Chains A and B, each alone.
Chain A
């Protein structure tokens, strides 16, 4: 038998080998990123849309984290919003007056948001296209507060603004900014209400319910918005230094305010749920529901409040006042160091707080407050008092709202 010395089979084998290697190399080659490469749109409308879309993160940051834009020397728009040391930075988040101040040049001289896209720099800015609020100033506004809901748009509180781009003149885009800073979700689990007493351990659950609780008390500035929207501008608080302070309304007006925004005045059992830290947060169906005495320590004896009870000479530290603003602490507003396990502020101390209590209607006031000595027995979770629903200058009563969302 003669061996086949033809070169053709060898060429076929070599070509086959090269083809296989080629296919493998093709598979592992670096591919151009077609998904991320966007060509510059030919029409001005689409260019406008692309730039606004690219600007969205900066717009959201300016709205939600306005405080980050404030430099050490504060703001220079006293006719719009004040910058005070005793007011926490949260006050400037999702704050329409800050939005007005920013675009009026009160934060920096050239407020336009610079967007680099398609090899060009675009400058996005808000337009002062809304009617002035004569009670505040004669200047046109950069926003208008909307009370929802509207068909197809699901919001109760919205801030309507309009954006334009210097490099694409003549076009405007109205959009609505929502208040993502105001409230916080109450996780679905079993909760306890009040203290466990002999023969009574009231537990309940919120499975299947989407409950959101305001992080802070309702402020005078927020109540001003309500007055303006319902046509009672004569009732607004004009002194800007009082705007961050809790609004002091009668229980009837508190309910009307919350209802206006589709909410309710906070319930006592929700207050307990938001402040009594669960023993095991990962288990929503615990066998026993703990009733801690403070949001930070199960046993009050281990906290500064417990120490103050046994030591009349107890000296408050700055950290104590951050956790619970009691008598002897400096007055501060919009602070976040007292935050509870689920994100609500002001569990103990600060202001007396009105609560709705369907279980024990006469226990409708969180009595722990900045008007009580640190040694007072009222500084404890589950201790409630009675409020007649009328404000008293000696003991002002704050409130906050909650909302259950049904979609």
Chain B
């Protein structure tokens, strides 16, 4: 028993960090020039960001592990890992001390392919250490098809959190977007000013239709089509003709309750 506890403690202390990346949700900031499995030799003596891994801990808090490499030149290479907040940029920490560091590196290769990440580290004695992790949570949204559920469209069927040893009560903490906060910013001329984060609205969202393929959206729910309120979205293809993009010229992209008429305020239709 004592031996097994020692074995696990010892194992954790010496585990390569790729262990905690198995529940990564995204690989970001990947070096734009290095290709998979390329031996990294240039630019010699410089610090480079190889990639960053976004992952959630057992309490559903998101972290980012940045992996930096000092390319071997006059001196052997150094691999450095720094854990930062998910919204921070790795670039800002490239010269900061790492949380973990591996020195005396003769050669390094890495690869991020699909759901698999690997690193091959060769030291001065030409001993090779392999790090690898299957990225369980990396997910690209599929195109919805018949009989697909919203859960399958938005995330993997199983989302892995950080595994742990011993006893622990998993108690997730979360951050929320407030109701009425803009979650998808679209200008009057249909330019998407920021990507949609409406899936982070705790109570759903509503849109103020403006005739664009995507209309501006806000957290929280609001009814449409009622007197003195925004009109409802009706679509922009059911007419089967090219319609001018102007609420005043053709407001058929929206509708109100029977008996009410559409009044345009700019390109936004309201029901009066």
A residues near B, CB below 8 A?
Answer: 43-46, 48-49, 52-53, 56, 59-60, 64, 129, 144, 146-155, 157-158, 160, 162, 169-185, 187, 190, 202-210, 212, 255, 258-260, 262-264, 285, 287, 342-343, 356, 358-361, 403, 405-407
Contacts and interface: CB of A to CB of B under 8 A. Distances in A.
Nearest to B152: A180
Given A264-B204, A342-B146, A178 B155 contact: yes
Given A152-B56, A264-B204, A359-B257, A185 B238 contact: no
B159 A182 contact: no
Closest 3 CB pairs of A and B: A205-B235, A358-B225, A212-B150
A205 B236 contact: yes
Contact of A204 (B160, B175, B238): B238
A149 B164 contact: no
For B183, B214, B257, the residue with the greatest tally of chain A CB atoms inside 10 Å of its CB is B257
A178 B154 CA distance: 10
Given A59-B158, A60-B157, A173-B163, A151 B175 contact: yes
A138 to B, nearest CB: 17
Interface of A is mostly: mixed
Contacts of A129: 169-170
Interface string B209-251: 0000110010001011110000011111110100000000000
Given A359-B257, A405-B199, A152 B149 contact: no
A208 B170 CA distance: 38
Contacts of B7: 44
Given A152-B62, A358-B226, A406-B198, A171 B25 contact: no
A406 B205 contact: yes
A150 B60 contact: yes
A43 B19 contact: yes
Interface of B: 4-5, 7-8, 11-12, 15, 19, 22, 25-26, 54, 56, 58, 60-62, 86, 134, 136, 141, 144-166, 168-170, 172, 174-175, 183-184, 196, 198-205, 213-214, 217, 221, 223-226, 232-238, 240, 255, 257-258
A172 B154 CA distance: 26
B41 to A, nearest CB: 26
B134 A53 contact: yes
Contacts of B205: 262, 406
Contact of A178 (B61, B151, B221, B236): B151
Nearest to B201: A262
Given A45-B19, A150-B174, A406-B217, A176 B159 contact: yes
A407 B199 contact: yes
Contacts of B148: 184-185
For B155, B174, B204, B224, the residue with the greatest tally of chain A CB atoms inside 10 Å of its CB is B204
Contact of B163 (A59, A172, A204, A405): A172
A361 to B, nearest CB: 6
B149 A259 contact: no
Contact of B172 (A44, A160, A356): A160
Contact of A48 (B26, B144, B150, B163): B163
A183 B62 CA distance: 28
A12 B134 CA distance: 51
B176 to A, nearest CB: 8
Contact of A405 (B154, B174, B203, B233): B154
